[in-house]
Amino acid sequence: LSVALSGTVLSRCPACARNFANLYCNNICSPDQSLFTNVTRVVNRTTALGKPQLAVVEYQCFYRQDFAD
């Protein structure tokens, strides 16, 4: 999912776009991910340099009510 594409789709509603970006950034960049994220599916992949690694393809997020509000 491209954040730029999502921003384009959500551009009609600036509040929606900000909320989406906030959720995305928390899911990807938060140092506290382990407190609210449960990885449910990973796959093996190979990097461009040929190194094997795991990639997360599915996860669940659990947010407190005050964050959701």
Q: In whole angstroms, what is the distance from residue 34 CA to residue 36 CA?
A: 6
- Residue 3 pLDDT > 70: no
pLDDT tens digits, 16-67? 888 888 888 888 889 998 999 999 999 999 999 999 999 999 999 998 888 7
pLDDT of residue 46: 95
Nearest to 43 by CA among 52, 33, 30: 52
Apex CA 57: angle with CA 43 and CA 8, to 5°? 145
pLDDT of residue 11: 79
Give the confidence band of 7 by pLDDT, cuts at 50, 70, 90.
Answer: low
